[in-house]
Structures are given as structure tokens and as C-alpha cells.
Amino acid sequence: MYSAKMPEGFLWGGAVAAHQIEGAWDVGGKGVSVADVMTVGSATKPREITDGVLPGKNYPNHSAIDFYHHYKEDIKLLAGMGFKAFRTSIAWTRIFPNGDDAEPNEAGLKFYDDLFDEMHKYGIEPVITLSHFEMPFNLAKNYGGFTNRKTIDFFVRFAEVCFKRYKDKVKYWMTFNEINNQSAFNNDFLMATNSGILFKEGMTDEEKEAAMYQAAHYEFVASALAVKIGHKINPDFKIGLMINYSPVRPLTPSSEDTLLADKFEQHRDFFSDVQVFGEYPKAIEAYIEKHGYRPDITDEDRVVLKEGTVDYVAFSYYQSTTVSSEKVSADELSDLEKAVAVNPTLERSDWGWEIDPVGLRLALNHLTDRYHLPLFIVENGLGAYDKVEDGKIHDPYRVDYLKKHISEMEKAVTIDGVDLMGYLPWGPIDLVSAGTGQMDKRYGFIYVNKNDQGVGDLSRTPKDSYYWYKKVIASNGTDL
């Protein structure tokens, strides 16, 4: 297997999100977030977003792995693998419990002060997402989330408070997690988590798509304003965008499938174009116009977008996407799901996610060619069932997955010349799955004793993969 040394200072580590690990959902003055009203689902049943916290429902994020009270033990375990960086998010509702509060919540700010101090104690660099599916529920319910221009101000204020408070502790920031997930505009769950839009019963696809373009635009403006303010507060800040990137390929070599693959990419990836170039791509302007969506985009907004472009491109990579024009042609494309086909050459995870290590090399090459910016892999990994045998967890499937992906990443850096800041695989410690709410969909190097039913003593145990990843980091990527 190909392996190569990564550049000096390469940020090896892992990534999580506050709502998927912290628990303590109502502790320290924290308010209710959209994540706090997400029930448990499964691979086939989407999580429900309920109207507030209702009795008798299972909300796995409420307790998660209780990182809030275990963070010292957990950071120590991550440091034991030699982590150089750790990505997490700041739960918006710990800082502004309702989003529209007059003052920030000191107890929440203090929690992250302590957490970042603990990371620095071990030389671990914090990499921070400001908004990772954790919008205050009040903003979603009573303001319409990002369909409301006012939400820009609430977000920017939250960002500014964080930038000021942590300006000497955090250098690497991202504004919105997987901002391009919204291209799945008729997925109610994703729209609620990403943009705080709670669709009403009976809305048409066109109405949902129009709402998505509006929300996305306000998020672009909010992100650009945050970038501008952040750079003023500390010119050394590196503030990036974050997308879920999946190279798209046609199922067959036909021109129809190839054109569809291109169009699919335009719809899914225009989000990063706006954040890197500070302007909308022509194809999307034309699409919005043709459908008569008319989002509120002012001349002033366009100036802000130009002034607030990002410093780097961060992305998650789990799988590639294959499309077929059998059900939908390039000109009819709007619901992207209809175009997705099964790639017969790839294996799948227990949750049906295609496994495609070469896709990561393609992703790194495509993004470099398109944006000419440093890249950062801030999520990658295999969700799998683990078995505890005699107190040990043997997870060769996880090592195999990661090894193959790291090998392709190393080719992209050392053969293709990609400028890569680091590699932060998803969920280094077991956590609540965002998509399903399950605990037993595990990504971790560290096992957490808790199952889908919420049963377990929360004890932490390093898996075999823990010792393997430690070796990878110690050798700076040569010992796979």
C-alpha cells in the first residue's frame, strides 16, 4: 500500500460536533437547540423534529456520551493517540440559549474556555465549527431559521462573541457545517438541522426549494460577515467553509449521464463557489431565475460576499456519488435524490454508504483545481457495529477503511501536489449519529459503553484501531 510522510505541521486528529457528544442539554444555562428536539431514527427511518421537547420521546442528544462532564478524561485519551488537532463545535445555545438573548451566557463561554485550555495542555489545536446542526430552537420555530434576514444578525453576534472570547485560544474556524447539504431541499430533517427551517405540512417542492435558496443566501451573507469580523479581531485567524464533498460520476459513459453528473455537481457545489469566489455561479443564477424563485439578494449583500471570502476549504468525505439519467434528465434536475444510482463497483457499509477510497483522491484533486486554496479533511470514516469481546474491541474493518483512505490522501498530497492542512476523521470517540440518532453506529477509536437504548455505564475503552492510529500519527503517515 502506498504511504508517504505528510508535510511538517500536518494536523492529524479527529472531529466531532457538540450536540453529538456533550449531552448536558439543559445544564449551565443551555437553551434548547434543534438538535435537542431530534428523536432517534434508523438507517431507513428519518429522525423526527418534534415541536419542542415532548415527554416520552427518546432524544439521544440530551445525554449523548456526556462529554460535558467527561471532557478531561476524553481529551487525555485523544492526546494518548498523539492528536495534533481536535475539531468540535460551540453549541450556539450554550452561548445564546434562545438565539435572540440580550447577553451571552457566561457559564457556556466558560465551558469552552476550560475545554480549549485542556486541549492546549496536550498541544492539541482546537478546530472550531460555529454552527453544526445546533441552531437555537427558538430561532427555528419563531423566526423561520435562516429564511429570516434577522437570523443573520443573531448568527453574526454569536460568531463575534466567540471570536473575541477565544481569539488567543482558537486559530482555525469554520462557519457552517456541510452548508451544501441543503441541496436536498425536500429532506425535512436536513433542512431543519442545517438552516432551521421547519416545513409546514403540504408544502410543495417548489416552495421548499425557494425557501432553501433564500436560507442559503442569508447563510452566505452571515458567513461572509463573520469572516470579515473574525479577520479584524485576529488577522491570524484561518476561517474556512465546510461542505460535504462527494465527487460525482456518470453511471454509464453516455453523454446524458455525463451532462447529468455535471449539473448535479453545479447544484450541490455552488455553495462553496459562493464562499470562495464571493459570487454566484452563472448556472445557479440562471436556474433561480428560470424557476422564478426571486430570493432577497441585495447589491449590498453581493459586496459583503466578495469581501468575506474564506481562507480554506474544509470538507467531509464519506462516499462518491453516481448518477443515472434513467429517471431524470439534466434539464429536469431539481430533486437530486432522483438522479442517484447504485455504483455496482463499490462495496457498502452496514448503513448502505458506498466505500470508495479513490473518491477521496478525486475530491482532493477536484477541489484544488477549482479553488486553489488549502484544503482540510474534517470528516471521513466508517460507521460500523462493534462487538466487545473479553473487554476488547477488535475493529479491523475500521482500520482497513481508514488505511485505504489515508493512502489515497497521501497520494493526493505527495503525487498530485494538493495543499492539505490536516486529516480529522469523524467521531474518534463513539458518539450519537447525526443521521440516525443511534449510538450503535460507531466511528470511534475509543469505545463508549452505551447502546441505542441508552443503556451502558459510559465507560471508555480504546479499540484496536486506537493503537493503529497512534502509530500512523507518530510516523506522520508512513506507518499505515
Rounded distance, CA 287 to CA 166, Å? 40
Q: How many residues appear in the chain?
A: 480
Q: Give the CA radius of gyration of the chain.
A: 21
Neighbours of 387 (CB within 10 A): 8
| Residue carrying the nine cell digits 479513490 | 358
Residue with smaller CB distance to ligand BGP, 15 or 297: 15
Pick from 194, 244, 246, 324: which binds ligand BGP (CB under 6 A)?
244
- The reply to whether 379 belongs to the active site is yes
CB of 436 to ligand BGP, least distance (A): 6
Q: Which range binds ligand BGP by CB under 6 A, 93-101, 250-258, 284-292, 431-439?
A: 431-439
Does residue number 434 form part of the binding site for ligand BGP (CB under 6 A)? yes
Rounded distance, CA 397 to CA 408, Å? 17
CB of 167 to ligand BGP, least distance (A): 25
Does residue number 433 form part of the binding site for ligand BGP (CB under 6 A)? yes
Question: Which residues, 6+ apart, have CB-to-CB distance to 438 below 8 Å?
Answer: 40, 41, 42, 60, 432, 452
Residue with smaller CB distance to ligand BGP, 304 or 432: 432
Q: Which of residues 373-402 bind ligand BGP (CB under 6 A)?
A: 379, 383
Does residue number 194 form part of the binding site for ligand BGP (CB under 6 A)? no
Does residue number 321 form part of the binding site for ligand BGP (CB under 6 A)? no
Pick from 237, 423, 426, 466: which binds ligand BGP (CB under 6 A)?
426
CB of 133 to ligand BGP, least distance (A): 6
Rounded distance, CA 89 to CA 362, Å? 27
**H-type alpha helices, 196-316:** 205-233, 255-277, 282-290, 299-307
Does residue number 405 form part of the binding site for ligand BGP (CB under 6 A)? no
Rounded distance, CA 437 to CA 415, Å? 39
Q: Which of 209, 379, 408, 410 is catalytic?
A: 379
Phi/psi at 407 (5° precision): -60, -45
Partners of 384 in beta bridges:
442
Does residue number 178 form part of the binding site for ligand BGP (CB under 6 A)? yes
In the numeric block, which cell numbers belong to residue 101? 438573548
Does residue number 46 form part of the binding site for ligand BGP (CB under 6 A)? no
- Residues near ligand BGP (CB under 6 A) are 17, 20, 177-178, 244, 316, 379, 383, 426, 433-436, 441
Residues annotated as catalytic (active site), given as ranges: 379
